[in-house]
Chains A and B, each alone.
Chain A
């Protein structure tokens, strides 16, 4: 994972999705970003670029996206699926990891928190993070 890794955001809240895109433009300006809504969830395996980091909202409207992770990983082993949620309890974390998510994070309420999480995800092979 690095600053050029393609990123897919799957988030049902339009405003939040747009904000994450803006933040990614600051943190990883060289990454291509595909922003999808809840209605695109069943097409995710076809649309995600090879080797993408998929940031998947835990709740997509009335759907619990936990059930999407395992089939997605089975269809696309090249994808790295990271679950994000409004609140993450230890039980939620365990359930997401058991379903095949590589990590789970609670959506931060501040920009610095978002920057730190996005940089750590993109810097997973521990190169230098890009300056925001």
Chain B
């Protein structure tokens, strides 16, 4: 890591210095309109080399998949193949304007069509729209689809969305954003939805249930068929949060299990890079009865031509243009290179790696629910008999050269550490990570201060988040 402090680019600025070149203006200049022109533009002035060093230094202050093990639960931080970046930068595919006439973009539309078809086959759904830009955006599409479906039947008293207490925060936030009331459903002792509690809430005011399967404990819902049946019996719909689809490729298709709608996270399961917070891509898949409500346009076929079409009862457009197309190229490339057997091997090995790591770790850190896990698992990160908490363990892992797992989520597990190794990590890496955790558990008993003050090997130590929130400094003031 680059440990030196790096100035803000504003602080590197020298008047008159520049990095850019531009062609000379080759047309006669026109007068500017009076009263419309800005006086000042306080942007930095740096040379190209200063610019390159600045961003190179900044990059070296990050942990990333390319540099370290990154077992962030529910985020599926698997290797991002380099061919994807090459594919997405092919000029004929990338330098295309979204409003070009369709007959000049048949290649891009064909790729999108093929990706829609592949996602349908993988998930068991009848229709897919690629438009949503991220998981939460796909969720929003899904909930709006459920809303529109009920409304189209004149069924307007449905206002409650059921959400398990283990759900991602986006599920309740999305439901509220769509104008619905959120009803929390508890989990049972085996980490499943509490079936009796669910049945008590199922009535003719239920929009649907938002279920993550495998759930955020990394467990496959043992009563998934009964859950679907209960929700359907009261006229509700089953929403699937596809964040954890990496466990199910060629293992089970959510559409077959009874889900009506689900979003995909191309940036998780289909390994488009996370980019330090995005872009993602969150296509939404639906059963046949919901296909007319998909956000549009989607890509269809008319004879030999690929065309953009808006489904009959579409919930409308959720984004300008066609979605995060650059991610479609990467995900499509991945699916082509994996094929059906490769996709199955992805999930086989993701689940194998998680269970193997769980077997190594749980003697030292108790697992939240003892069952065979899917692609991830959750342990308690506090160390009994000490004042060491999950956060301390996470920060100390950094000193051992690993990115921490997801902390303090799901909320139903105290001191949760949610660990998702993914299929692209080797046994040696998993062994090294488990060894680090074992050593940290020892350190907690012998020198807990070492953990409280960790990390010790980073450009900055623990940061004062209270100060940041109490008197926010959100931009450079000069």
Does A associate with B in a complex?
no
